[in-house]
Structure 1
């Protein structure tokens, strides 16, 4: 098995970052992570964040940046992440008006092309990070595949979130392998599901919905190795697909563990597979 460098999506420890940004980076490195993927800069300047990553020996590989924020000022927003040293920047999530099944999905496709061109100009690569709502079909083809088929690979590459592929009804390893040569970063995320998936799925990742009725808890994110995912198969597929990095992400802690404890469990499990 390839000895992938391992990054942590910092959204996983967002509350820790709010309380102690540098101290959290130091802890992430101490757990054995090689790099980080940002989800916000917490009011800090790009130069400061670049210096902190260098100080603590973390590679700033990527960032999740809201689509509307990037579209509002592509050169400035993407330029900040280029200044930090990120090689990749990802569209992380689509609000409802930009999703497949709406007129706004065409704006997403056009925007991805524009942002991909801007990223390329800055020496970066644009990625798309999926959830499960892209696994609806447009003329017999998944919307996620429509996006990748429409925007050229040099402008848009994949950041397959293996949890959401599974929730969307597809095999994560097979889906990573499908995009061989276009999958530089693979998101490793575990989960547990008993029964049907809840209607309010995205409240689990901090996205509020109008529906407030209590639902039976049937889904939760888990540290790697504590859920339903077949990570040996996913890692083998990632190696075949030419992935450069794997990224651990856990949107919400579980099992009565803190976010940092979950991050530790995940990397300890990963090390048994790839190191």
Structure 2
């Protein structure tokens, strides 16, 4: 089993370059067998969220798997639709469900889900959580450039990561490019979720044939091509999921085995992606963004 490579966040914390998510196919459902399968396959990063409603599955799954807590990187996110979420109270509750004393990375799930706190107030609580050791690193998710600029006014700790939907059909608009530039300036890592969207939610687009050709020429899966495109263009982290053990293995091997794309291959995918726009998650956030 190949070891998962890591990236170093701006606070020095090392994060595996691919994570297994408890959202999407696992969303809202008990998924203990899938957590165990992912861990056995070799994933050492499990991505959880209050919104997914299944954090207990990590606690039960990891307990049955029997590994050492320090050997798995756990991400948790605060915020759920229709609920007020105080970052500390939420994390304290989730830690009990997950049967752990801390998370490795704790994120604000959306700039629209911090009420009754403002963004800056919520981030101040996040900084206190980090200082108290309940989270080794703190960041955000689905934050736009303007949201990060708002945090910048008062932050003492720069977010270490921003987990965003990222694939060839949504990386190119001006608001996304502004966001990526701001993140690069402050060394805020991209955690790319939805990297396989051209194969799942947006089939039949201009990227399809290029991805097929590259996969065939390299002797790899199309999903592995897209995972590498996301990982290489961001130099960050990809988060993916599957309830199928074989698919879990294929996706993990996109990052653990040598299937990197050439610059020419990356450019071909990027240029094709610019011919279409598609976003399928957190559209309420982006609908409120600057054009």
TM-score by length of 1: 0.58
> Higher mean Cα deviation, 171-180 or 109-118?
171-180
Q: 1:65 is matched with which residue?
A: 78
Q: 2:124 is matched with which residue?
A: 113
1:83-119 alpha-carbon deviations (Å, 9 max, x no partner):
3441221112244x76xxxxx7981232222233234
Residue 39 of structure 1 deviates from its aligned partner by 2.4
Aligned residues: 220
Matched, 1:129 2:141: yes
Query: What is the alpha-carbon distance in structure 1 between the residues aligned to residue 125 and residue 252 of structure 2?
Result: 35
8 Å CA contact 2:228–2:259 kept in 1: the answer is: no
Q: 1:234 is matched with which residue?
A: 234
SS where residue 225 of structure 1 aligns? helix
Query: What is the alpha-carbon distance in structure 2 between the residues aligned to residue 219 and residue 72 of structure 1?
Result: 44
User: Which among 189, 195, 212 is matched to residue 190 of structure 1?
Assistant: 195
Matched, 1:93 2:106: no
Cα distance change, pair 272–16 in 1 and its aligned pair in 2 (3 A) = farther
Cα distance change, pair 84–262 in 1 and its aligned pair in 2 (3 A) = farther
* Root-mean-square deviation over aligned CA pairs: 4.6
Query: What is the alpha-carbon distance in structure 2 between the residues aligned to residue 27 and residue 162 of structure 1?
Result: 25
SS where residue 166 of structure 1 aligns? coil
User: Which among 13, 22, 32 is matched to residue 10 of structure 1?
Assistant: 22
Query: What is the alpha-carbon distance in structure 2 between the residues aligned to residue 47 and residue 228 of structure 1?
Result: 30
Query: What is the alpha-carbon distance in structure 2 between the residues aligned to residue 225 and residue 175 of structure 1?
Result: 27
Q: 1:212 is matched with which residue?
A: none
Runs (5+) with no aligned partner, structure 2: 7-15, 208-221, 261-291
1:179-219 alpha-carbon deviations (Å, 9 max, x no partner):
32x43x733541556xxxxxxxxxx8xxxxxxxxxxx9979
Runs (5+) with no aligned partner, structure 1: 99-103, 135-141, 194-203, 205-215, 239-245
User: Which among 143, 147, 155 is matched to residue 144 of structure 1?
Assistant: 147
Query: What is the alpha-carbon distance in structure 2 between the residues aligned to residue 9 and residue 35 of structure 1?
Result: 9
Residue 248 of structure 1 deviates from its aligned partner by 1.6
Q: 2:63 is matched with which residue?
A: 51
